[in-house]
Structure 1
């Protein structure tokens, strides 16, 4: 590691309990790299990490004024005082860094990804077209133009159907659903739509859980487009169940899936860190791509090589002119998202009429919040989580508790 080069974790979405950024601070901070981060306030879990060298504010209206964001990042670069490696923590940040790389490169080291590619990848409609053009399996998808077309489509295709917000930037400004949502009938669909006449939503075919498996690939493609690291893992649970953030997963070798992911990145000219979600459909024996995140994934610390290199360290080494060590994936590691995994296990077990799988930690478990060398973020998260539970209980008594609220967000 070239410890003279700092790093900046770029975040535009207000999500103080998002745990992926904390993993970035820890993996680079432990290597002696000065890591700065954009945070919501001084009391978020990331802001109290011992590995944080300095913090900058995420503007409350960051996504409302996108034209001002490049200047803001340049100001942060000048405040750091040295050219820094920029690490995108959310889709919007990945799009910003790619589309304004020519300006931002004055203060930041960035992977040379094609400028318009991250926006197309974060668009659910754009990703479907990329898959079709590159012969990568994906669930059948439709992008209805308006409410009438959506209702007609649902009638023709039939239920259940999967709904996703179509574009990265509208998922927060005008979301149709709070997360990937399965609707089982017209009443549920209408409840999601509300009064919207032109909902920005993608409709996907539903692959039944009984015939499916959820898999993850995390990879790093270097400046020349070579996939230097390709990790594969199996997702056990998520919250909300079957459509939210990973709460428990383990690293597992899958050469077929690794080649599928690396081949797609090679054909589209991708550079940098990528986090891909796949749905294995036992009915036709194919892995179907459901999400391509052109950034660090929240559970990226699940994966590392046997010598301890993960995708964030690979990015840092590559952009600072160092060699990326080559070593096999460390298999059998487990990732757990603390308090969100237990309710997910309970809900999943009730729906599937079986005992929950893998409730206890195992050797090599990577916890999202707790670690011995950096305990304060776990304490800060516990305080915020308790406050969130209290607020939700208050809303319950008022009769406005929403169905399946994400406990970690």
Structure 2
């Protein structure tokens, strides 16, 4: 990200707290811990919604208070809005999942009297979080994305299978079904027509899936964009990097990533955001297809990404800090992104490393040596979240380790 040559210190408004908003039962979320630390280190009072009092986030020294509120993500939206309003303190809302981002957007008029957050077209975050909605927006605005089909019946799937080039990829059409009854478990590679039809028999009369062309990782590069945009859809902070490893391999969350400047990709992302009129934080996953030289947009998360702490400019601004500064009327210092910086998620990167070594895959553009490393969980000034993560991770014991080993042997989720 281009910026001024002189670094300007970050001066946050310490009178306006931050509130981490998350719905669903997933206590081991390193992005939540990162957001609490990021603003907490600027002396911004931090609060968070947590599943229980013993999550890593709840143990952070930078958290003033956790609001224990067990949710599934499938509750009636009105009840969730009422719950947020009962918290009842002015704060900048920091959503960490699609459910929270969509709820805030669709109920912004009710929440605006109490909370600060970017104002956006109420329907846009839900559409961006939907695989079908995102694909339609990409087609509408000339952004490359994998070829896709959206079957409405088993007969549609049969017709697709008769002409498709295998392997193909199946994903849940809507982000929200992952906490209910998903048709597939994340990104699923399907190798043959027979395998697709076999799976489809269990998807019901209205299969909630998207079927996409498969972009082979041997011919592709995984890139990420994290940014924050103001009410005019102009960037306050914009960063690019490469995903070195993910878990599950080539299809899951980031386990290891590096900051790599990419002006072409930054420009593509900025133009797309301007065209759709989005405001707030984004986390994009794109795959560069070396076969046709295009960056293809895979996922658009209309909220903070779990690995956002990979990115910070030389003035100390990340996307969460940029949003808080902007919403509280403070200037957002500009600067260059930390080239070559690395981000490691300790509890999944070892398994990912073993899987990638087995496949002999290497990441183009990743620097041979990092200029610095940001750990997702461990921090010398805030060690308890790391220890709490370890305690909660080892509870499944041998079964958990066996599952990691089996997945590392299989690579990404696949159906032959």
Alpha-carbon distance in 2 for matches of 1:298, 1:161: 27
2:350 is matched with which residue? Answer: 342
> 234-243 vs 59-68, which deviates more?
59-68
How has the CA–CA distance of structure 1 residues 351 and 163 changed in structure 2, closer, same or farther, with 3 Å as cutoff? same
2:97 is matched with which residue? Answer: 90
For residues 282-318 of structure 1, what are the alpha-carbon distances to aligned partners after superposition, in whole Å with 9 as ceiling and x for unaligned?
1111101011000000100000101110000000000
- Say whether the 8 Å CA contact 1:345–1:357 is kept in structure 2: no
Q: Does 1:30 align with 2:41?
A: yes
| Aligned counterpart in structure 2 of residue 149 of structure 1, from 129, 151, 156 | 156
| 1:363 CA drift (Å) | 4.2
| 1:391 CA drift (Å) | 4.0
Q: Does 1:46 align with 2:53?
A: no
| 1:195 CA drift (Å) | 2.1
| 1:250 CA drift (Å) | 0.2
| 1:189 CA drift (Å) | 3.1
- Say whether the 8 Å CA contact 2:73–2:99 is kept in structure 1: no
> 205-214 vs 355-364, which deviates more?
355-364
Alpha-carbon distance in 1 for matches of 2:15, 2:191: 55
Alpha-carbon distance in 1 for matches of 2:395, 2:366: 28
Q: Does 1:115 align with 2:118?
A: no
Q: Does 1:166 align with 2:173?
A: yes
- Say whether the 8 Å CA contact 2:260–2:365 is kept in structure 1: no
Q: Does 1:232 align with 2:243?
A: no
| 1:383 CA drift (Å) | 1.2
> 21-30 vs 11-20, which deviates more?
11-20
How has the CA–CA distance of structure 1 residues 108 and 349 changed in structure 2, closer, same or farther, with 3 Å as cutoff? same
**Higher relative contact order at CA 8 Å, sep ≥6: structure 1 or structure 2?**
2
How has the CA–CA distance of structure 1 residues 315 and 185 changed in structure 2, closer, same or farther, with 3 Å as cutoff? same
| 1:371 CA drift (Å) | 0.8
Question: Which runs of no fewer than 5 residues in structure 1 stay unpaired?
Answer: none
Q: Does 1:252 align with 2:263?
A: no
Alpha-carbon distance in 1 for matches of 2:363, 2:322: 39
| 1:228 CA drift (Å) | 1.7
- Say whether the 8 Å CA contact 2:221–2:363 is kept in structure 1: no
Alpha-carbon distance in 2 for matches of 1:244, 1:121: 19
- SS of 2:264's equivalent in the other structure is helix
| Aligned counterpart in structure 1 of residue 270 of structure 2, from 259, 262, 266 | 262
For residues 250-300 of structure 1, what are the alpha-carbon distances to aligned partners after superposition, in whole Å with 9 as ceiling and x for unaligned?
001000000000000001100000001100001111101011000000100
| RMSD, matched Cα | 2.5
For residues 156-183 of structure 1, what are the alpha-carbon distances to aligned partners after superposition, in whole Å with 9 as ceiling and x for unaligned?
1121111111112222212122221211
| 1:359 CA drift (Å) | 12
| 1:155 CA drift (Å) | 3.0
Alpha-carbon distance in 2 for matches of 1:139, 1:107: 41
- Say whether the 8 Å CA contact 1:349–1:356 is kept in structure 2: no
How has the CA–CA distance of structure 1 residues 355 and 373 changed in structure 2, closer, same or farther, with 3 Å as cutoff? same
TM-score where L is the length of structure 2:
0.90
